[in-house]
Amino acid sequence: MFEHQDFTKVAELTKKSRKKVQVWVNLFNERGLKALIPKITHGHPSSISEDQKEELKNGWLNGF
């Protein structure tokens, strides 16, 4: 799509910074297309154990 375009032109077309475009190109060159797929994050790791989660769930389902 943007093959043979310079970073500045691609940055203008995508409304992203030139630096961001450089990062994308480097990621693609180093690790391929999969490197450009955003990773899904779910926030901070849980601070309660699986047993505690189960206990809360059971309490909620049974009306505490």
Concatenated DSSP letters for 31-63? H-GGGGSPPP--SSPPSS-HHHHHHHHHHHHTT
Q: Tell me what pLDDT residue 41 has.
A: 76
Residue 24 near residue 36, CB atoms below 8 Å: yes
Q: Measure the CA–CA gap between 15 and 9, rounded to whole angstroms.
A: 10
Q: Tell me what pLDDT residue 18 has.
A: 92
Sign of CA dihedral 9, 12, 14, 20: positive
Does pLDDT of 46 surpass 70?
A: yes
pLDDT in tens, 1-39: 666 668 888 889 999 999 999 999 999 999 999 999 988
Q: Tell me what pLDDT residue 32 has.
A: 93
- How far is it between the farthest Cα atoms of the chain? 63
Domain boundaries, the chain: 1-37
Q: How confident is the model at residue 61 (pLDDT cuts 50, 70, 90)?
A: confident
